[in-house]
Structure 1
Amino acid sequence: MHEQKLPNKDTLQRKRLLTRAAFFGLFLLAPVLNIFRYDLTETQFVLLGFPLSFNLELAWVSQSSPAEVAGQILVWFILPITLLVPLVLWIAWKWGRIYCGWLCPHFSVVETINHLMTRVTGRPTLYEALRKGRRGKVLHWAGLALVCGLIGFSWALAMLSYLLPPIPLYTDLVTGNLSFYPAMFLAVATLLFTLDFLFARHLFCKYGCAFGVVQSIAWMTNGKGRVVTFDTKRAAACRDCTNACDEACPMRLPTRSHKRAKFTCTQCLQCVSACRDVQKNNPEGSLLSWEPGEPGKQTVLIPVRQVDPSPHRQNA
C-alpha cells in the first residue's frame, strides 16, 4: 500500500494572525505617526500628517457665498461618505463580518483573552467555566486580571491619543504631569475596558458593536454570501469528535447550524481550521468549508419561500 500523504499544515490562521497584528499595530500607532486622528486642541482631523479641514477655514467661509460653502461640503464631506459607505456595505454583504474576524483590534483582544482564560479555567469564557465548576487558581485569576488591566490601559491610552496630541500626552504621562481631565479619562476608560475584556468581550461583539450589527444585517440579506457550511452528508465523521469546531468559535456560536443561527459570525474561520485539524487524516478532508450560501436553506434573514420547480398540471 502507498503511504497516505497528509495535507499541508493549515496556514489559514497564520495568515489571519498577520492581518490582525498589522492592523492592531496600525490602530496603536496611527495617532503617533499622524496617520489619522482628531485633534481636540485644534478641533480638526489629521490625515496622513495634513490637517483635514474640508477646505472650510473660518476666514474663507466668512468671505464666501452659501453656495460655495455648500459646494465644499458636498465635495469634501458628503461625496466621500457616499462612496465609502456603499463600499463597506458591499464588502459586508458579500463576506459578512470579515473586518471583525480579520482586522478588528477588539476582536483580537477577545481571542487573546479567550485563549488565556482557557488556560486558567479550561473554558474560554467565565460563564462557561462557572457552569462547569472550573474556577481556576486565585493566582492565575490575578494574572489574567492584570493582563486585562494592562490591555485596557493601553486601549484607553490609544483612544486618548486619537483626541490629544500623542507625543505631549505620552510625555506628560511619563513625567507625571498629566492634567485632570486626561487622567480621569484614562482611569474611567481603563476600568470600562478591563471589565469588558474580563466579563463581556464577545458579548459586546455580539450585541454592543453597532458596526458589527450593520455588517451582519448586510450579510444576512445576501442569500449567496459566503458562510461556513457543514457537509451534512458526512455528519457521521463527527462521531468521534468532541465538538472541536464549536469549542474553537470565539463568539460561541453553533458552527454547524444554519446561517441565521450564526448571525454574529465574524468569519474568523477558526471552526474550519479546527475541523481541518481533526479530520487531517481523513481523505475527504474537513466537514466545514467557507463557501457561497444557498438561498432557501435557512441562509437569509427572511426565509425564502420554496417553490416547486416542476410545472403545474393544467386542467383539461
Structure 2
Amino acid sequence: MQVKSHLGLWGIPVQQWRRFTQVSFFLLFVFAPIFDLFRLDLNLKHFIILGMDWTLGLNDFVAGKDTAGQAAKAIFLHAILPLILLAAGVIYVAWKWGRIYCGWLCPHFSIVETINQTLRKAIGKQSLWDKEALPSRNPDGTQTKPDAIWWLGVIPLTIICAITWATVLLTYLLPPAEIYGNLWHGTLTRSQTVFLIAGSIAFFVEFMFARHLFCRYACALGLFQSLAWMGNDKAMVIGFKRERAKDCFSCYSACDHVCPMRLNPRNVKRMMFACVQCGQCTDACTQTQSDNPQGNLLEWVNQAYAESEAALNGSTARVIRIKLEKNNVIPIHNSNKKIPS
C-alpha cells in the first residue's frame, strides 16, 4: 500500500529534500578546508575565507604605522563585527524556525541519524540507553526486524565516522594538503598523530554512547538555537491537534518512535526544547493516518497556532487550538497541502 508523505518544492517529499541538504552540507564540511573556503591555519596564525587571508589587520600597527585607535577599529571591523552579524543571523533563524540548522544541515546530526538507523537494525533501538525496543513496524507499513549481524555494520560505521570527523577537523587547523599527504605517505608528525588518535577515540565514544546527550545538552550552537526558539511563542513548531487525540488510539505512537532526538512530539513546546524540526514525526503521522479522512494530527504550525503549543500544559493548548479552529485560523499546512518553500 502506498502511503502519503509531506511534499515540498516541486512535489518532492520533504524528507528527500532534507537528505539532500544534509548530504550537501556534509560534503561542504569535508571539502571546505580543501578548497580554502573556510579554515583556521595555525601555521599562518589566521583564518582563510574564500581563498583570502582573513587577519585582524594589525600589520601596520605592529610596524608602528597605525595608532591604537586605528588598531581598535581594525579589530572591530575584522573580528567583532563579523561575529556579531553571524551570531545575529543564527539567532534570528533559530528564533523564527527553531533548530532547523541541526535537523537539515548539521554534519554531526546526519551521522547521529545514520548510526540511529543502523543500530536499530542491530538491536531494535535507536540508542543503547533506550529501555525498550522499538516496534518492528515502520510508519509506511514496512518492517525493520533487529538482527545481531548488523553489529558488523554499527561498529565499523562508528569507527569510520569518528576517524573522518577527527581528520576533517584537523584539516581546519592545518593545511589539508599536508594532512592528507602525510596520511597517504605515513609521515604524520607526533602532534598530528596524537590529535587524530585522541580525536578518533573521543568521537567514537561520543557517537557510540552519547550522541543524543551531546546534541541535547553539550552542543553550544544547538543550545543557543533552542533558547532563541523558546523565546518566540509564534516560531514554527510541531503542532498537535489535541481535540482529535482519540485518533491516536489507532496508531502505535509512531511519531515517538521515529524521533531521532528521542522526544515525544505530541508534547507542548516547552517539553520539545531539543526539537530539530526534522519533520519525521509529521511524516509518520501522515502515513499512519492515511486512511483517516480528517488527515494527520501533527503538522508544522506558526503564529497563532504556535502560541497554543507554547502553553504550559496540554489542556490549555487544546482549548486555545479549539478556539482557533472555530475562528477559522489557518495553520501553515495540512495533510492535503504542500509545505511552502
TM class, shorter-length: 0.7 to 0.9
* 2:285 match: secondary structure: helix
Summarize the Cα distance change of 1:274–1:236 in structure 2 as closer, same or farther, 3 Å threshold. Answer: same
Q: Secondary structure at 1:286's aligned position in 2?
A: coil
Match of 2:199 in 1: 189
In structure 1, the partner of 2:260 is: 250
CA contact (8 A) 1:222 1:300 kept: no
Q: Residue 223 in 1 paired to residue 225 in 2?
A: no
Structure exhibiting the larger radius of gyration computed from Cα positions: 1
2:150 aligned partner: 140
Match of 2:191, SS state, is: helix
Is 2:24 aligned against 1:22? yes
How far has the Cα of 1:233 moved from its partner? 1.7
2:180 counterpart of 1:178:
no
Give the Cα separation in 2 of the matches to 1:164 and 1:83. Answer: 26
Q: Hey, what does 1:299 align to over in structure 2? A: 310
Q: TM-score, normalised by structure 1?
A: 0.87
Q: Indicate the residue corresponding to 2:327 in structure 1.
A: none
Say what the alpha-carbon RMSD is for the aligned residues.
2.5
1:160-171 alignment runs, 5 A limit? 160-171=170-181
Task: For residues 56-114 of structure 1, give each alpha carbon's deviation from its aligned partner in whole angstroms, at most 9, with x where no partner exists.
Answer: 22676532111111111122222222222222111111111111011101110111000
Change (3 A) 1:216 1:31: same
Residue 90 of structure 1 corresponds to 92
2:328 match: none
Q: Report the secondary structure of 2:210's partner residue.
A: helix
Q: Deviations over 1:233-266 (max 9, x none)?
A: 2222211211110111000101001001100101
Q: Which moved more, 1:28-37 or 1:272-281?
A: 272-281
Give yes or no for contact 1:93–1:219 (8 Å, CA) kept in 2: yes
Residues 272/61 of structure 1: CA separation in 2 closer, same or farther (3 Å cut): farther
Letter of the structure 1 residue corresponding to residue 53 of structure 2: P
d(CA) in 2 for partners of 1:133 and 1:68?
62
Find 2:33's aligned residue among 31, 34, 39: 31
Alpha carbons 2:125, 2:134 under 8 Å: kept? no
Larger mean Cα displacement after TM superposition, 281-290 or 239-248: 281-290
Of 129, 145, 156, the residue aligned with 1:127 is 129
The structure-2 alpha-carbon separation of the partners of 1:38 and 1:147, relative to structure 1 and needing over 3 Å to count, comes to same
Residue identity matched to 2:15? Q
Deviation of the 1:224 alpha carbon: 0.7
**Distance apart, 1:9 and its partner CA:** 6.6
> What are the Cα deviations for residues 189-227 of structure 1, in whole angstroms up to 9, with x where unaligned?
001111111111111100111111111111111111111
For 1:185 and 1:242, locate their aligned partners in 2 and report how far apart those are by CA, in whole Å: 46
Which amino acid counterpart does residue 34 of structure 2 have in structure 1? V
Question: In 2 relative to 1, CA 86–9 (structure 1 residues): closer, same or farther, beyond 3 Å?
Answer: closer
CA apart distance, 1:138: 5.7
Of residues 101, 104, 111, the one that matches 1:102 is: 104
1:48-59 matched pairs, under 5 angstroms: 48-57=50-59
Separation (CA, whole Å) in 2 of partners of 1:85 and 1:104: 16
Secondary structure of the structure 1 residue equivalent to 2:250: coil
Q: How many corresponding residue pairs?
A: 298
CA drift of 1:151 comes to: 0.6
Distance of 2:177 and 2:46 partners within structure 1: 17
Residue 91 of structure 2 aligns to which amino acid in structure 1?
L
8 Å CA contact retained: 2:240, 2:298: yes
Unpaired runs of 5+ residues, structure 2, are 8-12, 136-145, 318-341
TM, length-normalised to structure 2: 0.81
> Displacement, 1:277?
1.3
SS of the residue aligned with 2:277? coil
